[in-house]
Structure 1
Amino acid sequence: MVGWSELPEDIVEHIAKRLTFILDFTRFGAVCRSWRFVESKKKRLLTPQPPFLMHIMVGKDGGMIYNYYSLSENKKFEFTIPKTHGIKCVGSTEGWILTVDDCFKMLLLNPFTSAQIELPPKATLKDKFSRDHYSQEELWHLTVWKASLSSSPSSNNECVVLTIHGYWRLLSFARLGDEVWTPVDCVIQYFDDAIYYKGKFYALNVIRGVFWVDISINPSTILITNPIQEATTEIGYLVEWCGELLQVLRQMDLDMCSPGHQTLGFRVFKLDFSIMKWEEVKSLGHYALFLGWNTSISLNAAILPGINENCIYFSDIGHPLCIAKEILQKDIGIFYMKDKSIEPLHTGLTYCFHAPPLWVIPNP
């Protein structure tokens, strides 16, 4: 009997042509080396894929177990990638995520190809806070809150990674190949989100406003617009939508150091750069937003199966200093812009408050 690896390439390609789901391609390529070669060619021809809600756990053999919830299929999937480590995951740009393992090693990882890129060590992040009052586990979770990439590392060696890190939620960045993180001279602390928009990085503090992050010779932050409203019960996100820069405010009923919390609604604004003023957005049109620990994203729902238009998909907020057990009351759902209603998403994912799942767009 002919083995799988000995099947003629035209037959293997015929099988590959019938696959439309990226996780099926990942399993297909795991059969053997010859199938992996066909997979690498055909995967690039995939139609646009809707985001997955992804959570990572560590398996018994030390490999990373990826738990995915697919919106289009309303199913949970699980598979393990050996020789990958790290359980703290933040940021998600074109399928790449930033991971931190229990030895504080930091990597960029593409979970769909297993490609890894080493980043400067955590020890070079200048956090400016005393570690005496925190456990090793708490320090680990404080390493990075969010990360934003200037481009996909697989297509551009000039990729820059900007992180929000440490107790004070400061900014630092690194280019691929750097040996240390470069700190940004920040006039404020406690940044909520960051984005790479039209060739520049921007960072948000809901109470203080939006800042341009200058990463040239003397890295610094420069205020470009004042806050929409001083509100401590709102969490802010920056996202690009149809070429516009949006600020999305998530209204919460929460205790930031308790698993008990609930999303009440969202407010959406776009920035008019000509007068540097925020204008409220009542409709997202055919688009949907995906907010969470990932880099915030907007997608054309009209071309994606299983995605609702004019909606905001949100995942749990989490908090690094709440080393709690599994969250029983999940805060994952869909906010409908038209009538401001919220529909819970029952994903079947199990996670703790300090490590909630994040949205990932498949990128082969």
Structure 2
Amino acid sequence: MASWSDLPGELLRIIIAALPNPIHHARFQAVCRSWRSVPSPRKLPGVLLPTGSLLLPFDSAPHRMFPLPENQRFVGSTDCFLTIDVIDAHNKHTYVLTNPFSRTMLELPELDAVIGNVPETFGIHKVLTHSGLHGLVVIRTDNRNHPIILLNPGKGVWLPKPRHQPFTRIIDVAFLGDTLYAITQAENLISLGVAFYTKGIPTVTSIKRVITGPIVTLEKDKDAPGNRSPHDYIINDAIHLARDHERPHVDILTAWYLVQSHGKLLMVRREMECTSYLEGFTRKVEVFEADIGARTWVPVSTGLHGHALFLSKHSSKSIVAGDEIEEDAIYFIDNGEVFNLRSKTTSPPNKDFGFDAMWLFYPSSL
């Protein structure tokens, strides 16, 4: 009798196409290498909640795809990798990168040593990995002492000086090729030159402002002494709140996202009307392309070149459109809205989503 791993590809494609949802697709691809090579028919990513529940767009209920113990939470995702924060009885944190589809797991002891003991308010906002740069891991947090962390697993870690500028003003990061870029609320674009010592320890060798944004007041207001939080080690979470003076019960929330798409670096500026914190609807979305040579942001209004953007606090990515994925669409994870860049229309919010959720991209969509 032939081995299960030797089943012909044509038969495997028929089987995976008949499975009812992407959870089964993921389990199918986790069986063995030959089964994993069969592409999933699903491309639209899932919405992963910190507790491990997976929301599948167009499904009616969440699925417990990744059940976690009470002392563990997902705190970041990048492509197929998830970052797990494990908290022991003494409030010590350890961190693990895991790929649920290939069942690979990578411990991050260097990160544990740096931020193993942190206050309850500490949060990881984003985790990026770059396989082409020695497996570099970039972590953005909400803590002024450790706002950016560069990590080469098994080699070493790099940190800026505590509360050092411009790192505490950074609200989002993204790779374009082998270069790490960051934006601030003032819409300044900063390039961070990364190199490695002989032992593979990463370091930032250069910091350069390549675009000076048009907004100069938000950043100053955010750091004004009268507006600081009692916990001034907490960094603003990539949003800006302003009161609508004509409607005192309404707040205008502005959020920014940085994402690489089709070989370009894009900044998305989004305005929402909110009657309560983080509950509202999108009223305006603007997309800008970084023209680094001209040192300016160029408005994008003609579409996304056959791509769609999936944006969140924890993970943002550009995916080729088609099948379930709408072309020139921007998917927001916090409330499930979908904004079409060409028609300037927005779908109704979905309350099942959440601000702390993150996209989970399937291997076939990457």
TM-score interval (norm. to shorter): 0.7 to 0.9
2:9/2:38 contact within 8 Å kept: no
**Paired amino acid for 2:207:** T
2:183/2:258 contact within 8 Å kept: yes
- 1:150 counterpart = 2:150: no
CA RMSD of aligned residues (A): 3.4
Indicate the percent of aligned positions where both proteins have the same amino acid. 18
Aligned mates of 1:225, 1:157 — CA distance in 2? 24
2:257/2:311 contact within 8 Å kept: yes
Aligned counterparts, 1:260-279, within 5 A: 260-279=279-298
- 1:187 counterpart = 2:207: no
1:198 is matched with which residue? 177
1:149/1:160 contact within 8 Å kept: yes
- 1:113 counterpart = 2:102: yes
- 1:69 counterpart = 2:56: yes
Question: CA separation of 1:261/1:77 partners in 2, compared to 1, >3 Å: closer, same or farther?
Answer: same
Q: Greater shift after overlay, 73-82 or 258-267?
A: 73-82
Structure 2: 5+ residue stretches without partners: 198-202, 219-239, 241-252
2:55/2:62 contact within 8 Å kept: yes
**Paired amino acid for 1:147:** V
Question: CA separation of 1:12/1:25 partners in 2, compared to 1, >3 Å: closer, same or farther?
Answer: farther
Aligned mates of 2:315, 2:279 — CA distance in 1? 24
Aligned mates of 2:133, 2:296 — CA distance in 1? 35
Q: CA deviation at 1:237?
A: 1.4
Given the alignment, which residue of 244, 247, 254 partners 2:267? Answer: 247
Aligned mates of 2:165, 2:47 — CA distance in 1? 34
Question: CA separation of 1:178/1:49 partners in 2, compared to 1, >3 Å: closer, same or farther?
Answer: farther
- 1:221 counterpart = 2:199: no
What TM-score do the two structures reach when normalised by structure 1? 0.72
Give CA-to-partner distance per residue, 1:219-240, whole Å, 9 cap, x none: 2532111114345442221112
SS in 2 for 1:215: strand
- 1:26 counterpart = 2:26: yes
Q: CA deviation at 1:25?
A: 3.6
**Paired amino acid for 2:107:** E
Aligned mates of 1:109, 1:347 — CA distance in 2? 28
Aligned counterparts, 1:91-170, within 5 A: 91-92=77-78, 94-103=79-88, 104-119=93-108, 120-125=110-115, 137-139=120-122, 142=123, 144-151=124-131, 158-168=134-144, 170=147
SS in 1 for 2:175: strand
1:228/1:278 contact within 8 Å kept: no
SS in 1 for 2:23: helix
2:28/2:35 contact within 8 Å kept: no
Q: Which runs of 4+ in 1 moved over 6 A?
A: 82-85
Question: CA separation of 1:16/1:24 partners in 2, compared to 1, >3 Å: closer, same or farther?
Answer: farther
1:17 is matched with which residue? 13
Aligned mates of 1:159, 1:48 — CA distance in 2? 29
What TM-score do the two structures reach when normalised by structure 2? 0.72
Q: CA deviation at 1:344?
A: 2.8
1:187/1:221 contact within 8 Å kept: no
2:186 is matched with which residue? 207
2:337 is matched with which residue? 333
Q: CA deviation at 1:46?
A: 0.8
2:97/2:105 contact within 8 Å kept: yes
Number of aligned residue pairs: 308
Aligned mates of 1:228, 1:109 — CA distance in 2? 40
Q: CA deviation at 1:299?
A: 1.6
Q: CA deviation at 1:176?
A: 2.0
1:238/1:248 contact within 8 Å kept: yes
2:29/2:35 contact within 8 Å kept: no
1:51/1:359 contact within 8 Å kept: no
Q: CA deviation at 1:192?
A: 1.4
2:74/2:82 contact within 8 Å kept: no
2:126/2:141 contact within 8 Å kept: yes
Aligned mates of 1:306, 1:204 — CA distance in 2? 31
Given the alignment, which residue of 53, 60, 78 partners 2:64? Answer: 78
Question: CA separation of 1:345/1:76 partners in 2, compared to 1, >3 Å: closer, same or farther?
Answer: farther
**Paired amino acid for 1:307:** I
